[in-house]
Amino acid sequence: MTALCDKTATELCGMLRRKEVTSREITESVFKRMEERESEVNAFITVTRDLAMEQADQADRNLQHGKDLSPLTGIPVAVKDVLCTRGLQTTCGSNILKGYTPPYDATSVERIKASGAVIVGKTNMDEFAMGSSNENSAFGPVRNPANTDYVAGGSSGGSAAAVAAGETILALGSDTGGSIRLPAAYCGITGIKPTYGRVSRYGLVAYASSLDQVGALGRSAADCALLLDVICGYDRRDSTSASMAVPGLFDALKKGMKKGLKIGLPQEYFVEGLDPRVEEKVREGIAVLKDRGADIVDISLPHARYAISAYYLIATAEAGSNLARYDGVKYGVRSDEASPDLIHMYEHARSRGFGDEVKRRIMLGTYVLSAGYYDAYYLKAQEARNLVRRDFERAFEQVDCMITPVSPCLPFPLGEKVDDPLQMYLVDIYTVSLNLAGLPGMSVDCGRVNDLPVGLQIIGRPFDEETVLQVGHTYENATGQTDHAI
């Protein structure tokens, strides 16, 4: 029998409504699993057991005589430690923010609280969301629940591993260049990055503001839809938030994938450098969708090869300026030693507070933006970004969505790439272009190679999360990953 903590949110929501289970029982099951697995997986930075039990009891009272309750009522959700939580430490995986307790909630957190969900803790992550393997955390790496000698993927590795291990049911993550999709793929779960502007970034600690987006991780497309239905929507506190109506995404799944839906396969994504074992799994996944009536079309994204360079120039430039605020005065650890001057004090705080990768990015970003290099690097990168975006626009005149791998390789052993930043950056080759173009993308589990999970990426038109989720849901149903009807 499946333990409560291994069930989908969709199923638990039904069980709660039918009074077959209480939120307390579900939440206890999650914490029991944490006791069993957390010491090896290391998915959490902060666990909020007492608070969670209170929220679970409150949810049970509401469910007793409730009407108009959100489907998330009583469902455990973990929050990536990049999102501000009122009264609860928010570290962003960094020593520099250790002990920082925000006086406010991020909008996405506020919304899940209002929905009656149960917050079980703050998840581990690469420091300031910079990384692809979750080895850049000041709180130790996250280990892949499928095999703890392997990385969980980053930077939302804690969120993905927690869902995969049954240490939560759902989780919030953030994605600047793949940070939801990559760990979702490596941990064998479902993770979606919505369109830029779909979810408020208010209270999301900024990494690269023009690329950052909050999103959802769960055990199925349907579970992600439940979470997105709560967090999507306009927020006047984020000036880049889109004032567009959000369709009921969960309800939209009932329609299923459109007959004759055109799915594009970008030729530039299936080339040398892609592990043939990963390619085989992704192609098997495509065949499943073809079998379900999708029309598979070859397409071209001719500027795809510029995406990684453009991304790492833009992301580091934005990070360099966003991270200037951690100076030991406004934010960050203040040195106790007397400093002879202000600069010395800043240096002291920043050299001790930041890890190596964050320092590398700040240096790169500062260089990219410096006089004399700005045109050659930063402006060029913005031009490349436009080309990448236009490629997608053109391709979407022909197709309704696209399918690609999430990662060119399988999850790798811990330590394998930490000393080779360029190798690590290349892991993001299939994910960063969506952030450059602001598009929605989702990773779904498409099988195992040597017991290690492989993910398939579904890319949609701007603000068309609906199609992305429908394709994901159809695929999961066809492959027997979701046993529940919705």
For ligand GLN, the closer of residues 263 and 313 by Cβ is 313
- Cβ-count burial of 68 within 10 angstroms (0-12 exposed, 13-18 middle, 19+ buried)? exposed
132 is a contact residue toward ligand GLN (CB under 6 A) = yes
* Min separation Cβ 316 and ligand GLN, Å: 8
Q: Which tokens in the block code for residue 355?
A: 């890890």
129 is a contact residue toward ligand GLN (CB under 6 A) = yes
Of the candidate spans 130-138, 145-153, 246-254, 376-384, the one that interacts with ligand GLN by CB under 6 A turns out to be 130-138
For ligand GLN, the closer of residues 305 and 334 by Cβ is 305
> What track of x and - describes contact with ligand GLN for positions 354 through 393 (by CB under 6 A)?
----------------------------------------
Q: Which residues contact 71 (CB under 8 A, 6 or more apart)?
A: 9, 13, 226, 229, 250
Active site residue 321: no
* Min separation Cβ 130 and ligand GLN, Å: 5
The β-bridge relationship of strands 262-266 and 401-405 is parallel
Active site residue 339: no
Of the candidate spans 7-15, 61-69, 111-119, 123-131, the one that interacts with ligand GLN by CB under 6 A turns out to be 123-131
Give CA separation, 356 vs 56, 75, 128, in Å.
40, 37, 12
**Which one from 23, 29, 70, 179 is the annotated catalytic residue?**
179
What residues between 269 and 308 interact with ligand GLN by CB under 6 A?
none
What residues between 164 and 183 interact with ligand GLN by CB under 6 A?
175-179
For ligand GLN, the closer of residues 207 and 346 by Cβ is 207
Q: Omega before 155 cis (within 30°)?
A: yes
* Min separation Cβ 421 and ligand GLN, Å: 9
Among 131, 188, 320, 438, binds ligand GLN (CB under 6 A): 131
Q: Give CA–CA dist 312/278, Å, rounded.
A: 24
What residues between 186 and 215 interact with ligand GLN by CB under 6 A?
207
* Min separation Cβ 266 and ligand GLN, Å: 20
For ligand GLN, the closer of residues 145 and 157 by Cβ is 157
* Min separation Cβ 132 and ligand GLN, Å: 4
Q: What is the dihedral of CA 141, 146, 149, 154, to 10 degrees?
A: -30
Q: Give CA–CA dist 397/385, Å, rounded.
A: 19
For ligand GLN, the closer of residues 158 and 177 by Cβ is 177
* Min separation Cβ 175 and ligand GLN, Å: 5
Three-state DSSP class for 329? Answer: coil
What residues between 410 and 469 interact with ligand GLN by CB under 6 A?
428
How many chain residues bind ligand GLN (CB under 6 A)? 13
Q: Which tokens in the block code for residue 396?
A: 């979407």
Give CA separation, 441 vs 180, 381, 470, in Å.
9, 22, 12
Three-state DSSP class for 174? Answer: strand
Nearest to 129 by CA among 195, 182, 64: 182
Q: Give CA–CA dist 241/232, Å, rounded.
A: 10
Q: Is the dihedral of CA 154, 156, 158, 163 positive or negative?
A: negative
For ligand GLN, the closer of residues 178 and 188 by Cβ is 178
Of the candidate spans 101-109, 129-137, 141-149, 408-416, the one that interacts with ligand GLN by CB under 6 A turns out to be 129-137
Of the candidate spans 125-133, 343-351, 398-406, 452-460, the one that interacts with ligand GLN by CB under 6 A turns out to be 125-133
Give CA separation, 439 vs 211, 219, 222, 305, 379, in Å.
10, 22, 20, 18, 21
**Which one from 115, 155, 200, 407 is the annotated catalytic residue?**
155
For ligand GLN, the closer of residues 59 and 96 by Cβ is 96
Q: Which tokens in the block code for residue 382?
A: 């913005």
Bridge-partner residues for 118, per DSSP? 76
Cβ atoms of 354 and 96 within 8 Å: the answer is: yes
Residue 260 burial (CB count, 10 A)? 9
* Min separation Cβ 468 and ligand GLN, Å: 18
- Cβ-count burial of 157 within 10 angstroms (0-12 exposed, 13-18 middle, 19+ buried)? buried
In one-letter notation, the amino acid at residue 369 is L
* Min separation Cβ 295 and ligand GLN, Å: 31
For ligand GLN, the closer of residues 76 and 194 by Cβ is 194
Residue with tokens 């925000």: 102
Active site residue 330: no
For ligand GLN, the closer of residues 428 and 465 by Cβ is 428
Among 108, 123, 144, 155, binds ligand GLN (CB under 6 A): 155
**Which one from 23, 70, 80, 159 is the annotated catalytic residue?**
80
Q: Give CA–CA dist 427/387, Å, rounded.
A: 21
130 is a contact residue toward ligand GLN (CB under 6 A) = yes
Three-state DSSP class for 152? Answer: coil
* Min separation Cβ 196 and ligand GLN, Å: 12
- Which sequence positions are flagged as catalytic? 80, 155, 179
List residues binding ligand GLN (CB under 6 A).
129-132, 155, 175-179, 207, 315, 428
